[in-house]
Amino acid sequence: MLQRLQLAAVINLLCLVGLIVVAEIWPLGAPVSRIWLLLTLLPLLLALRGFLYGRRYTFQWMSLVIWLYFAAGVVRTWVASSHPALVYGALEIILTLSLFALCCGYARYSENLRQQ
């Protein structure tokens, strides 16, 4: 079960990275600089290595960091002036909530394996 959670979290994380990159390349409003794109993607890319190796600590801190991306998705959805921006915000919300659930599940079940 732990490997399934890990695989699902990695796929979800890569989907979130892809969604952010596509949204920034295909501007939904005002164009954003490459530095802002790098700052936005940096925590996700740093977490990718820990996700691939199954490090419990990475899943724990990502469950906290992901709320920043959730808040950004809520704001984008709230102020959306076009249909693509609304869809992007909604997808970001869905991906962040599912990644949060996967991170919490992985951290919880890896704790049980650690104590045995």
- Per-residue confidence at 27, pLDDT binned at 50, 70, 90? low
Check if the beta carbon of residue 5 is closer than 8 Å to that of residue 113: no
Q: What pLDDT is recorded for position 32?
A: 67
Q: Report long-range pairs for 47-54 (Cβ below 8 Å, ≥24 apart).
A: 47/13, 48/10, 48/13, 48/14, 48/17, 51/6, 51/9, 51/10, 51/13, 52/10, 54/2, 54/6, 54/106, 54/110
Spell out where the chain has E strands. Answer: none
Q: What pLDDT is recorded for position 97?
A: 97
Mean pLDDT of 53-71: 94
- Per-residue confidence at 29, pLDDT binned at 50, 70, 90? low
Mean pLDDT of 54-58: 92
Domains of the chain: total: 1
The residue that leads in pLDDT, 10 or 35, is 10
Q: What pLDDT is recorded for position 26?
A: 74
Q: Which amino acid is at 101?
A: A
The residue that leads in pLDDT, 23 or 28, is 23
- pTM (2 decimals)? 0.87
> Could you tell me the residue range of the domain that residue 18 belongs to?
2-115
Say how many residues make up the chain: 116
